[in-house]
Chain A
Amino acid sequence: DAGVTQSPTHLIKTRGQQVTLRCSPISGHKSVSWYQQVLGQGPQFIFQYYEKEERGRGNFPDRFSARQFPNYSSELNVNALLLGDSALYLCASRSLKGLSSYNEQFFGPGTRLTVL
């Protein structure tokens, strides 16, 4: 079975540009979360989507947005890129047996974004 997949693997953008990152969850997983990992830090929560609705948002500016599609894949959009947005962007999916259960989150390999 395929794990969580993300595209592209690497991306180079310049300041002020916009970027779209894509994530396909494990088959059957309806929840997708996005994390940002800056070099030397742990991953930081950005968004969670479940059944195409935003269910949680981390402390990130409005330049960050996301959406989830009917097939449960997801896109993360970042507008007006800053140098500080350079990071590894991780997508995680999980199967929810119930909204109150702590189901394991499975992470993709990430997209390495470099902003010049």
Chain B
Amino acid sequence: DQQVKQNSPSLSVQEGRISILNCDYTNSMFDYFLWYKKYPAEGPTFLISISSIKDKNEDGRFTVFLNKSAKHLSLHIVPSQPGDSAVYFCAAIEGGSNYKLTFGKGTLLTVNP
């Protein structure tokens, strides 16, 4: 039973354009959401997060949007760069459990020069 879903296994965009990665969740108890990036042979690296009390968080080229009513969040990367090519994982934390990350299956982003 997937509580965090990333329905797009892969995404390909041109350098300089916007990349939009989507994530849906089913557990209403989730109140904190994170995006991790993973290169081959490395562990996941934290990218950006958002609390459920917000609907947007921005950090440089990366912006995460949260739509609680739709149980949907998205990661926008603008402009996309070839170095952004990696697997992106959406993760969520349940209120009262500040350590257990529930991950989606990931989306492979390829940014073409």
A contact residues vs B (CB 8 Å cutoff): 4, 31, 33, 35, 40-45, 48, 50, 55-56, 58, 90, 92, 94, 99-110
Contacts and interface: CB of A to CB of B under 8 A. Distances in A.
Given A33-B99, A45-B101, A48-B99, A4 B93 contact: no
B93 A109 contact: no
B76 to A, nearest CB: 21
A42 B106 contact: yes
22 contacts: A4-B43, A33-B101, A35-B101, A40-B105, A42-B89, A42-B91, A42-B105, A43-B101, A43-B103, A44-B103, A50-B99, A56-B100, A90-B43, A90-B44, A92-B43, A94-B99, A99-B98, A100-B98, A104-B46, A105-B46, A106-B43, A109-B43
Interface residues on B, range: 20 to 34
Interface centre among A4, A101, A106, A107 (most CB of B within 10 A): A107
B97 interface: yes
